[in-house]
Amino acid sequence: MKKLLFGALLLLAASCTKKQEPFALLPVSDFDTTLNGKAVSLYTIRGGDLTMQVTNYGARVVTLWAPDREGRYEDVVLGYQNIDRYVNNTGERFLGAVVGRCANRIAGGTFTLDGETYTLPQNDHGQTLHGGLNGLDRVVWNVDSVKADRLVLSYLAADGEEGFPGNLSITMTYTLTPENGFKITYRATTDKPTVANISHHSFFNLKGEGNGTVTDNLLTINGSAITPVDSVLIPTGEILPVEGTPFDFRSARTIGERIDQENVQLKNGRGYDMNWVIDRKSPDGVEWIASLYEPVSGRGFEVWSDQPALQFYSGNFFDGSTTGKTGKPLRFRESVALETQKYPDGPNHPDFPSTILRPGEVYTHTCLYKFFTK
């Protein structure tokens, strides 16, 4: 009788413990499949107070659970609940993905390197966006290593893939640090001259996916200038000081405070969708470049990187017609992307930071989102 009673108490304790889990992970079975002869799955890593799920299809961050100031968890990135919704996508294509091999836009889908002109697929109003029709977000990455706090992925972008020259060998590591950091490192080499500008495209809502506007979030960007764009969001080649403009986030301002001001740049992007030139202290050190804070939950993060620029996008092209993982609509200005990068259309602007990678050189890039509460 005592043994039965003890066993019942153990089962009750286990049941209570399970009920007290702060969140439910997505089932791995909803992502297990084979695409183009390569296995796809869903991987979970943990570090500090953060838990993240990643699929190797597009190296996508699917969930990222973070606590608020009271210890309540929300999934703070936009995503889909199964692999079919990523593969047969009818909504936002780049949710949580690695983008490249040349992130952002390339004017007219063409560039010239060492006297040879390369033509790329045009997938955004006559431009090439985030690597073309089948960029790094639409390939199956190799899973090189899985540990409790990190995931190492690799991919060989073949010579001629999406029109780009050179076999580009890429290794990327996602790490969750004990200090609540989400760290991304990239390393790439090539066997012939090419261009490389790889970035990460999570859409963040610090209230939780589908839980309301980001226009009340406080944003700080350590950048004194932007690269203004034309009507199809291609840089004009100018460097425009932010002083006295809606783009001055050198001190914390809410995203919505000036987003609807009469301004041609805001009109072109239907809100914020442009590249900030970072005021760097050194040419290649990992430095603080931006901060985002959501005052109701107390969640925030700092962005640290070794890159010269940051793309800030305020979720202007979501319209609520598609839903996220929990069935909530993905709506207008309910997410933020902060993408560390070189300047957009870099291959066509010799005076911009170079995107050229040659044999014997190594492309490296570090991006760190340091989460905090206050």
Q: Is 339 a catalytic residue?
A: yes
- How many secondary structure helices (H) and strands (E) does the chain include? 3, 28
Domains and CATH numbers, the chain: 24-212+314-373 (2.70.98.10)
Closest to 135 in 3D by CA, of 111, 106, 115: 106
Only one residue has tokens 């190296």, namely 59
Which of the following is catalytic: 130, 200, 201, 365?
A: 201
Task: State the pLDDT at residue 22.
Answer: 86
Give 224-288 as a DSSP string. Answer: EEEE-B-TTS-B-S--EE-TTSTT--SS-EETTSSTTSS-HHHHHHTS-EEEEEE--SSSSS-EE
Task: State the pLDDT at residue 107.
Answer: 98
Going residue by residue through the chain (374 aa), what tens digit of pLDDT does each one get? 444 444 444 444 444 444 445 899 999 999 999 999 999 999 999 999 999 999 999 999 999 999 999 999 999 999 999 999 999 998 899 999 999 999 999 999 999 999 999 999 999 999 999 999 999 999 999 999 999 999 999 999 999 999 999 999 999 999 999 999 999 999 999 999 999 999 999 999 999 999 999 999 999 999 999 999 999 999 999 999 999 999 999 999 999 999 999 999 999 999 999 999 999 999 899 999 999 999 999 999 999 999 999 999 999 999 999 999 999 999 999 999 999 999 999 999 999 999 999 999 999 999 999 999 99
Give 39-54 as a DSSP string. Answer: EE-EEEEEETTEEEEE
Alpha-carbon distance of 165 to 150, in angstroms, equals 31
Phi, psi of 264 (to 5 degrees): -65, -35
Q: Is 116 a catalytic residue?
A: no
Which of the following is catalytic: 161, 339, 349, 365?
A: 339
- This prediction's pTM: 0.93
Task: State the pLDDT at residue 21.
Answer: 56
CB distance 371 to 182 below 8 Å:
yes
The encoded tokens of residue 342 equal: 């070189």
Taking residue 351's Cβ as centre, other Cβ atoms within 10 Å add up to 9
